[in-house]
Structure 1
Amino acid sequence: MAAALAPTQPLLLECCACRTWAAAVAACGPYSSVDALINAAREAWWHQTPVTGWLEAFAAHPKIGDLEGLRKKYGGTFGELSRSEQAAAGGAPEAVLQELAEWNARYEARFGHIFIVCASGKSAEEMLAIIKSR
């Protein structure tokens, strides 16, 4: 039988920097499985987290393609998670990274928060195409 999973708020905040969400997920533990934890995390995000919590999480998230910003803003585990998610952008041409930064600024000016996308496995060029399509 698998051990119960009891994530702490600080550990959850490394995954998603929303205090309301982290408190809700931690309060419902321990969990019998990873699937139970994921289901509770989804439930908390979609049904217990106010829009202000979403904006809190977005504000703490690194901008796509801003590798220097990742190094400056995040140390420790969360930074490692973010850097590994955006690893494909690390080898991108400077012109592509500059264009990503320009489109990130446009997106933030228009919507009031940074552009968020699951970057895992995507090249900088793919992320640029996605932000342009939004």
Structure 2
Amino acid sequence: MTSSASPGLARLNEAADPAALLREVCASSTWCAAVAAGRPYEGVEQLLAASDAAMAALDPADLDEAMAAHPPIGRPTPGDAVSAREQSGVGDAEREELLRLNLAYQEAHGHVFLICATGRTGAQMLAALKERIGNDAPTEREIVRDELGRINRVRLTRLAERTEAP
């Protein structure tokens, strides 16, 4: 570790069980192991690059494992501040339609609709869901991989910048 590492990044670099910290970011055990194996990280950009590489290498079962931990858009996990913060752009006006269309999406694709909700409005997420619901499975799988990668980047950046211990 270099002296310029943030407290959160230093904590990750020095953790006896880095997977415990990384599971807050992504539920894929393969992704967690790959990112943990790259320690120590000198900076956030190096950490994000390792995350991107690990995400690109995930097989379909690993993607399923990662997706299983994500609640439907419009219904954050009760008591989960991260889920609530990430979905804060969803207003009451969109919530019902998002939930209805998410059920149709799940029937078509076998998993919840996944999108990096941070910084997006409910209307933007609803438009993306309507656009993506008709995608074929291989196309949607790659979009999901990209969205998971974006989510992981947001969460890793927060983890690395966190000043207090989790």
Q: Deviations over 1:93-116 (max 9, x none)?
A: 2xx211111110111111111111
Match of 1:40 among 50, 53, 56: 50
Larger relative contact order (Cα-Cα within 8 Å, sequence gap ≥ 6):
2
Tell me the TM-score normalised to structure 1 length.
0.83
1:53 and 2:55 correspond: no
SS of residue in 2 equivalent to 1:118: coil
Q: Deviations over 1:22-70 (max 9, x none)?
A: 01111121111111111011111102x2211111111111110114xx1
> 1:26: which partner in 2?
36
SS of residue in 2 equivalent to 1:87: coil
Shift of residue 125 of structure 1? 1.9
SS of residue in 2 equivalent to 1:2: coil
1:120 and 2:118 correspond: yes
CA distance in 2, matches of 1:60, 1:85: 14
Runs of 4+ off more than 2 Å:
none
Shift of residue 128 of structure 1? 1.0
RMSD: 1.6
Tell me the TM-score normalised to structure 2 length.
0.68
CA distance in 1, matches of 2:119, 2:31: 26
> 1:88: which partner in 2?
89
> 2:25: which partner in 1?
15
CA distance in 1, matches of 2:59, 2:88: 31
Shift of residue 92 of structure 1? 2.3
Aligned-partner residue type, residue 102 of structure 2: N
Shift of residue 123 of structure 1? 1.9
Shift of residue 130 of structure 1? 1.0
CA distance in 1, matches of 2:125, 2:59: 27
Q: Unaligned stretches of 5+ in structure 2? A: 133-166
SS of residue in 2 equivalent to 1:88: coil
